[in-house]
Amino acid sequence: MKKYILLFLAFLFLLPVNAFALDNVSLEAKIGQMIMVGFHGTDISHPDLKELNKYIQYGSVGGVIFYARNISNPDQVTNFINEFKGLNPLLPLFFAVDQEGGNVERLTAKKGFLHIPTAWKIGQTMTIKDALATFESQALMLKGLGFNLNFAPVIDVNVNPTSPAIGLMGRAFSSDPEQVVDFASTFVDAYRKVGIISCLKHFPGHGSAKEDSHLGFTDVTDTWQKVELVPFEKMVSSGKADCIMSSHVFNADVDEEYPASLSAGHIQGVLRNKLGYSGVVVTDDLQMGAISQNYKLKEIVVRTINSGTDIMLFPNFFKIDKKLPTKIKNIILAAIKKGEIDPARIDESYKRIIELKKKII
């Protein structure tokens, strides 16, 4: 594996003509980098992984996300990730997981992994120094297992303590945005120290929502507060945003038609233009009820790309579609041919993704 990493570095940094420069990569391969999927199975010999293995081999997906269904114990996870790496050793995949702590842990103590308290408990009971030690232990565990991307920390402000997806789950550090920023910054520092990408979520803020976007349409037009944008604004301005995840909340004051994850008004208008963020944006699960119950796949894909988002997350959690990457690619190619997507948008996202992947070598 070491020789493959050295070869990749040679390609990426040393050749006079960058092997992964825009001119040297097919449109299909660029599209592949924008797709992240979930899967069934605990090793690559699982029959449901036949298609995914081929997608990885041919660069048709840029990352995979692990859920509890893919995790048995530490040795199994490490071996599984190494098996995936061996399928295409030149261009690394994102190996992602939702390991926030508390109620959102895929790697549980019951299966032999380090347990981390909820963000709320950390924010209310720990000093920044204690939190740093906790986050460092968590990051080292993930690094040792082979993960390179954690969809955490949550930087939602606990505006509504009874919010089903955030407040009731203890997923927010605080109701004070400044305290959220303090703990989130510490989290990012701990992860950068060991070379793992962290991902801030859920832009533009899910903490006031009365509904759970996992289950259906989530309208925050009358509940969302400007204070919810503060952690994103401060994390971006301080350079502590390596990756940002958009949420599926709908706010008619910003976009009268689409939720944030499908909205150019939110992603391009607010996050990129207003806050000045130029890094990778990944969607929350595009198969969640808030999206899948209201939009067809073509509209989801086209709107997501045109919003200024870079990575589309399809975890295959609620519904398995083993050929989804091919369907997504074909939708994008057809939309480009019809003038519905500018190829420059694909190039833009590809460059951002490759720059981020340089950090996980």
Q: For 12, how many CA atoms within 13 A lie in the half-sphere containing its CB? A: 18
3-state SS, residue 157: coil
**C-alpha–C-alpha distance, residues 54 and 64, integer Å:** 13
Stretches in the chain below the pLDDT threshold 70? 1-23, 212-213, 215-216
Confidence at residue 9, expressed as pLDDT on a 0 to 100 scale: 41
Question: What tokens does 298 get?
Answer: 């073509």
Confidence at residue 316, expressed as pLDDT on a 0 to 100 scale: 87
Confidence at residue 217, expressed as pLDDT on a 0 to 100 scale: 76
Q: What confidence tens digit (pLDDT) does each residue in 97-147 have? A: 999 999 999 999 999 999 999 999 999 999 999 999 999 999 999 999 999
Domains of the chain: 2-360 (3.20.20.300)
- Catalytic residue, chosen from 46, 189, 214, 347, is 214
Confidence at residue 212, expressed as pLDDT on a 0 to 100 scale: 65
Confidence at residue 215, expressed as pLDDT on a 0 to 100 scale: 59
Look up 212 and say whether it is catalytic: no
- Catalytic residue, chosen from 182, 284, 285, 310, is 284
| Upstream peptide bond of 153 is cis (omega within 30 degrees of 0) | yes
- Which own/partner contact pairs does 315-319 have at CB distance under 8 Å and 24+ positions apart? 315/37, 315/38, 315/65, 315/67, 315/285, 315/287, 316/37, 316/38, 316/39, 316/40, 316/287, 317/38, 317/67, 317/285, 317/287, 318/285, 318/287, 318/288, 318/289, 318/292, 319/287, 319/292
3-state SS, residue 44: coil
Nearest Cα neighbor of 309 from 338, 269, 358 is 269
Confidence at residue 216, expressed as pLDDT on a 0 to 100 scale: 65
Confidence at residue 19, expressed as pLDDT on a 0 to 100 scale: 52
Q: What confidence tens digit (pLDDT) does each residue in 49-100 have? A: 999 999 999 999 999 999 999 999 999 999 999 999 999 988 889 999 999 9
Query: Position of tokens 């944030």?
Result: 260
Look up 255 and say whether it is catalytic: no
Confidence at residue 14, expressed as pLDDT on a 0 to 100 scale: 36
